[in-house]
């Protein structure tokens, strides 16, 4: 059933699997749609929208309450560590870049992907602990239900961690964090978090104390 | 306010803590008090003990074993999971014992271990957040006394205090029994004991004596 997309006054409501229009030079499939055998079909139940991009009309389908952001290969994600073993570390992806996800995605960090150097001498217990918040990069997707992450860069690793007593720890080097109340040091793979605007940060006292 | 030699409850505070150059050694059952950092807070019921110059600990009747690195423990194989075994040592999680951690084991020739076998092993690592790891060899890859125990023994659970008492060389119970009849015994620090003797009635005698020692 062919339906040419209507104007915004009469928005076209479509169902999943509904054929929208033929896919040719004027119309291409956008988010919420897919192309099959020369036609554009809808993936979601919602409103059809046409967006003009580079002299081509992109057909999109938007549904209410959807979140279309999904971790893709190469994205920097924020995850919380759930379980550690000798071989790997399981975590939940909470945010992709700046977007907070509505539901967490399961992810796995293998022992070899924790660091860039000395990969075989990694001790997961000295890099992550359950409850830590980490920054990681998504690796090429191989498994069906879990993402593979890597923290093998200076800017990736543990950002927020709590000590065994429950106090938030302060990073003191790339491999250690210290509890401010009990002064106990705990080993972690710490992320090198750089302030977004270095010039602005120079005025802040925190940056001055780090430099000292 | 708790005094040395008294029976104390969890929540009691130990004041006037002796320390050498600011260092006090605290054993099981005690932890540093958060409200008042120079005092100790008690977390187990028992008797408060002190040893010169700066060591405190609580002695109470305990059955729950908390894994510690380097301990020699007795475990029962619960599951075979591919390359490793899951062993029940009485801790919160089953311990992992790799199949290659036996003497003379290679990828082609794995040791003959079945579900339900009793294993005497050493704890390689034990943390709160991870499952404990066991090995049946030392750093020279020799087994010594570690490994699978023969099937004709008898495994019992005892309290941790009795285990510590029996492991003491000066304790007279085990040598006295040894003068009466020969027997084999393996003590695991996790509160488990494996016994074996030539005759059934000898094994029963051993059991009765251990029960009596426990009741002390």
Name the nearest CA neighbour of A38 among A55, A54, A24. Answer: A24
For the domain covering B154-215, report its CATH number.
Answer: 3.30.1370.10
Closest residue in chain A to residue B35, using alpha carbons only: A181
How close A95 gets to chain B, by Cα (Å)?
Answer: 24
pLDDT in tens, A114-170: 999 888 899 999 999 999 999 999 999 888 889 999 999 999 999 999 998 889 999
The CATH T-level fold of domain A76-211 is OB fold (Dihydrolipoamide Acetyltransferase, E2P) (2.40.50)
Which band of pLDDT confidence, cut at 50, 70 and 90, is reported for residue A197?
low
**pLDDT for the residue A4:** 53
List chain B domain ranges: 7-59, 72-144, 154-215
**pLDDT for the residue A199:** 54
For the domain with range B7-59, which CATH number is right: 2.40.50, 1.25.40, 3.30.1460, 3.30.70? 2.40.50
**pLDDT for the residue A10:** 73
pLDDT in tens, A59-114: 888 887 767 788 888 989 999 999 999 889 999 999 998 889 888 999 999 999 99
Determine which helix (DSSP H) or strand (DSSP E) holds A114, and give its type and residue range: none
Which band of pLDDT confidence, cut at 50, 70 and 90, is reported for residue B139?
confident
Taking 60 as the threshold, does the pLDDT of residue A54 lie above it? yes
Is the entire prediction scored with pTM above 0.80? Answer: no
| Chain B residues lying within 8 Å of A182, measured CB to CB | 32
For the domain covering B72-144, report its CATH number.
Answer: 2.40.50.140
Q: Does A86 touch chain B (CB under 8 A)?
A: yes
**pLDDT for the residue A212:** 43
Between helix B173-180 and helix B160-167 the angle, nearest 10°, is 70
Asked if the domains B7-59 and B72-144 are classified in one and the same CATH topology, the answer is: yes
Taking 50 as the threshold, does the pLDDT of residue A205 lie above it? no
Strand A39-42's sheet: what is its strand order? A19-22, A39-42, A33-36
Which band of pLDDT confidence, cut at 50, 70 and 90, is reported for residue A201?
very low
Residue A125 and residue B127: Cβ atoms within 8 Å?
yes
| Chain B residues lying within 8 Å of A162, measured CB to CB | none
Measured CA to CA, the distance from residue A24 to residue B146 in angstroms comes to: 73
pLDDT in tens, A42-53: 988 888 888 888
List chain A domain ranges: 13-62, 76-211
Which of residues B29 and B184 earns the better pLDDT score? B184
Asked if the domains A13-62 and A76-211 are classified in one and the same CATH topology, the answer is: yes
Task: Give the mean model confidence (pLDDT) for residues A27-34.
Answer: 85
Q: How many Cβ atoms are within 10 Å of B14's Cβ, its own excluded?
A: 22
Measured CA to CA, the distance from residue B83 to residue B122 in angstroms comes to: 18
**Which one of B32, B34, B131 has the shortest CB-CB distance to A85?**
B131
Residue showing tokens 């033929």: A22
**pLDDT for the residue A134:** 95
pLDDT in tens, B76-132: 999 998 889 999 999 999 999 999 988 888 888 888 899 999 999 999 999 988 999
Residue A125 and residue B32: Cβ atoms within 8 Å?
no
Residue B129 and residue A182: Cβ atoms within 8 Å?
no
Which of residues A198 and B62 earns the better pLDDT score? B62
The CATH T-level fold of domain A13-62 is OB fold (Dihydrolipoamide Acetyltransferase, E2P) (2.40.50)
* Long-range contact pairs involving B180-186 (C-beta distance under 8 Å, separation at least 24): B180/B205, B181/B205, B184/B153, B186/B74, B186/B120, B186/B145, B186/B149, B186/B153
Q: Tell me if A93 sits within 8 A of A103, measured CB to CB.
A: no
Write down the ipTM of this complex.
0.77
Record the tokens describing residue B161, joined without a space.
Answer: 């205090």
Record the tokens describing residue A56, joined without a space.
Answer: 């081509």
Q: Does B133 touch chain A (CB under 8 A)?
A: yes
Record the tokens describing residue B193, joined without a space.
Answer: 């004991």
Measured CA to CA, the distance from residue A172 to residue A182 in angstroms comes to: 15
Residue of B97, B101, B130, B133 to mutate for A, most A C-beta atoms under 10 A: B130
């Amino acid at each position: 059933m062919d339906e040419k997309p209507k104007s915004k006054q009469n928005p076209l409501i479509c169902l999943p699997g509904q054929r929208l229009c033929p896919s040719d030079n004027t119309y291409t499939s956008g988010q919420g749609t897919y192309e099959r055998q020369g036609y554009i079909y809808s993936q979601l139940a919602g409103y059809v929208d046409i967006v003009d991009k580079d002299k081509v009309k992109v057909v999109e389908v938007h549904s209410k309450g959807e979140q279309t952001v999904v971790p893709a290969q190469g994205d920097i994600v924020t995850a919380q560590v759930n379980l550690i073993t000798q071989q790997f570390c399981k975590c939940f992806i909470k945010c992709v870049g700046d977007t907070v996800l509505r539901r967490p995605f399961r992810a796995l960090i293998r022992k070899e992907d924790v660091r860039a150097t000395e990969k075989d001498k990694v001790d997961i217990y000295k890099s992550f602990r359950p409850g830590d918040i980490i920054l990681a990069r998504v690796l090429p997707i191989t498994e069906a239900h879990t993402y593979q992450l890597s923290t093998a860069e200076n800017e990736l690793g543990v950002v927020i961690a709590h000590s065994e007593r429950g106090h938030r720890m302060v990073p003191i080097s790339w491999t250690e964090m210290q509890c401010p109340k009990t002064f106990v040091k705990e080993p972690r793979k710490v992320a090198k978090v750089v302030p977004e605007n270095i010039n602005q940060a120079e005025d802040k006292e925190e940056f001055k104390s780090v430099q000292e | 306010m708790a005094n040395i030699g008294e029976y104390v409850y969890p929540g009691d505070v130990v004041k006037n803590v002796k320390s050498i150059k600011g260092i006090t050694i605290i054993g099981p059952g005690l932890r540093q008090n958060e409200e008042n950092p120079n005092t100790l807070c008690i977390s187990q019921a028992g008797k408060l003990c002190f040893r010169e110059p700066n060591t405190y600990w609580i002695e109470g009747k305990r059955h729950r074993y908390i894994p510690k690195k380097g301990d020699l423990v007795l475990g029962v194989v619960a599951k075979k999971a591919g390359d490793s075994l899951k062993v029940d040592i009485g801790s919160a999680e089953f311990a992992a014992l790799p199949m290659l951690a036996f003497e003379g084991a290679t990828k082609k020739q794995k040791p003959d271990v079945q579900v339900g076998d009793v294993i005497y092993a050493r704890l390689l690592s034990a943390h709160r957040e991870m499952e404990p790891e066991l090995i049946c060899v030392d750093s020279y890859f020799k087994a010594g006394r570690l490994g699978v125990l023969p099937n004709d023994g008898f495994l019992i659970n005892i309290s941790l205090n009795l285990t510590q008492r029996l492991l003491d060389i000066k304790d007279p119970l085990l040598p006295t029994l040894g003068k009466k009849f020969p027997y084999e015994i393996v003590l695991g620090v996790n509160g488990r004991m494996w016994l074996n003797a030539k005759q059934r009635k000898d094994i029963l005698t051993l059991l009765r004596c251990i029960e009596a020692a426990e009741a002390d």
